[in-house]
Amino acid sequence: MRIDVDNLSFGYDYRTVLKNISFTLQSGDFLVLIGNNGSGKSTLVKCLLGINKVPEGKIYLDGQDIHNFKDWLRVGYVPQKFDDFNYEFPITVNEILNVTKFSKVDNDQKLQLLDRMGILKLQNENINELSGGQLQRVFITRALMNNPKLLILDEPTAGVDQENVIGFYRIVNDLNAEGVTIILVSHDTKGSKTNMSHIMNLDEGRAKYINVCDLDFQEESE
């Protein structure tokens, strides 16, 4: 999915969080969004997801103004925390995935996805009995249930052990190689063993945008 952001500024009440952000991502690009706490990373993500309402003409998804964009099933999202999810009421992994699936993803594809995520054996488990790492993989699988063309991951490896982090980035890289546009929010790029093509460093709402293909990334990130 192609993304165009044109001179976007956004704030809450009297506080401006994002200042004149502009960038373009082509289908299959991989953007890593870095910055300190409060730099505006999550605010930008919420703008891209249509949660934060931005003025018309600021964000285009696949050439369509975000206000007219309808194909939200093609946008997968893994939130930073799963606090929005109402836990404790029993629900199995399979039930979560089945109610999230609105596209023509058949059962075999779903099982393949679960296998790829390493949680095939957990499909009939109550999510309240899963560990943090397992839960994170369930929510990533949920984000993939409708064959997304854009996957936005907001600090997805926070609190996950190293072994699972490596496995996670392998999956993300594979998806990117298949043409899925990825936006990964992270504190830094050091732990991200990714195929990143672009890095955006947000600092107090202003963006320093680096195309990894053009610049020597290793020097920039040091």
Partner 1 sequence: MEEVLIATSFLRAIIERSFMQHALITGVLIGVLAPLVGSFVVIKRLSLIADTLSHFSLAGLSIGLFFINILGLPLGDPLYIGMVFAVIGALLIEALRSYYKNYKEISMPIVISLGTALSALFISLSGGFNTSIFNYLFGSILTVSRQFVYIIIVLTSVILVLVAAFYKQIVIISFDESYAKLLGIRVGLFQFFSTVILALIVSLSIETVGVLLVSSLMIIPVAAAMKVGKSFKSTVLIAILFSEISVLMGLWLSFIFSIPSGATIVLFNIIILLSVVISRKIIGTWLIKEKNPETMRSSLPHKKDAT
* Contacting positions for partner 1 (CB under 8 A): 49-51, 70, 72-73, 75, 77, 79, 84-86, 88-92, 95-96, 98-102, 124, 126, 129-133, 135, 142, 146, 159-161, 164
Using the minimum distance from each CB to partner 1, give the nearer residue, 40 or 133: 133
Rounded to a whole number of angstroms, the minimum distance from the CB of residue 168 to partner 1 is 12
CB of 84 to partner 1, least distance (A): 4
Distance of closest approach, residue 119 Cβ to partner 1, in angstroms: 13
CB of residue 159 vs partner 1: minimum separation in angstroms? 7
**Pair type for strands 30-35 and 198-203:** parallel
Order of strands, sheet of 30-35, starting from the edge strand that comes earlier in the sequence: 75-78, 150-154, 181-185, 30-35, 198-203, 206-211
What values do phi and psi take at 114, rounded to 5? -60, -40
If the CB atoms of residues 107 and 126 are measured against partner 1, the closer one turns out to be: 126
* Contact (Cβ atoms closer than 8 angstroms) between residue 22 and residue 8: yes
Amino acid at 212: V
**5: CB partners within 8 A, 6+ apart:** 21, 22, 23, 24, 48, 58, 59, 60
CB of 26 to partner 1, least distance (A): 23
Secondary structure of 79-98 as H, E, C letters: CCCCCCCCCCCCCEHHHHHH
